[in-house]
Amino acid sequence: MRTRRSFGRLTAITLATAVALSGCSNGSTHSDHASSEASDGAHAGMDHPMDGGPAPAGITAAQEPTYPVGTQVMITADHMDGMTGATATISGAFDTTAYAVSYTPTDGGEPVTDHRWVVQEELQDPGAAPVADGTDVVISADHMPGMEGAHGTIDSSTDETVYMVDYEADGMSITHHKWVVESEVAPLG
């Protein structure tokens, strides 16, 4: 009986780890990855870590964000399955420039188009913000395997307040998810 219970627990842990570590592999767009590969849970196909970790060095906390840290909001972004409509808690609010980027992963994965978002502080030697659309950049963010050190192109940018959020989707708890911009969250109610 004890062996069966241990085996069940080991199987559950192994399955959860496999889901959390499955990588992006079909290219196209960030949203396409989310809808086609994250069916086993939020972030499953995107291979984002369950804990996004701290904000990058040098980023400036927003002084008077619309949604201060601790505020509950509804996510309206569709970066990944399970994200749209999820209730989230703001875990960071920052004044910076956010970029949608296209890049080729350093680990041999398929090219990623329109990945939302990478912030100014996650680009190597970007110069003054905003970096112009079409500019070639090197990404220092590690949101997904193969992203850190990848060469990419700026697709677009926004100077909206940028938020880190904690939320649950498909039974998984995600903390410090990077990033959603102000237009991608709404007040609850």
pLDDT (tens digit per residue) in 161-175: 999 999 998 888 999
More confident residue, 189 or 9: 189
Residue 27 tokens read as 């290219």
Per-residue confidence (pLDDT) for residue 81, from 0 to 100: 80
Mean per-residue pLDDT for 107-123? 97
Measured in whole angstroms, the distance separating CA 69 from the mean position of its chain's CA atoms is 18
Higher pLDDT residue, 67 or 52? Answer: 67
The class level of CATH for 2-187 reads: mainly beta
Question: Is residue 53's pLDDT more than 70?
Answer: yes
pLDDT digits (tens, 9 = 90+) for 71-111: 999 999 998 888 999 999 999 999 999 999 999 999 999 99
Whole-number percent of the chain with pLDDT over 70: 74
Give the residue with greater pLDDT, 8 vs 24.
8
Average pLDDT over residues 175-187: 97
Higher-confidence position of 105 and 31: 105
How large is the average pLDDT for residues 109-138?
97
| Residue in the block written with tokens 């069916």 | 39
Q: Do residues 109 and 146 make contact, with C-beta atoms less than 8 angstroms apart?
A: yes
| For residues 29-51, average pLDDT | 41
Task: Report the alpha-carbon distance of residue 100 to residue 166 in Å, rounded.
Answer: 21
Q: Taking 50 as the threshold, does the pLDDT of residue 6 lie above it? A: no
Report how far apart the first and last C-alpha atoms of the chain are (Å, whole number): 48
* Position 26 confidence tier, pLDDT thresholds 50, 70, 90: very low
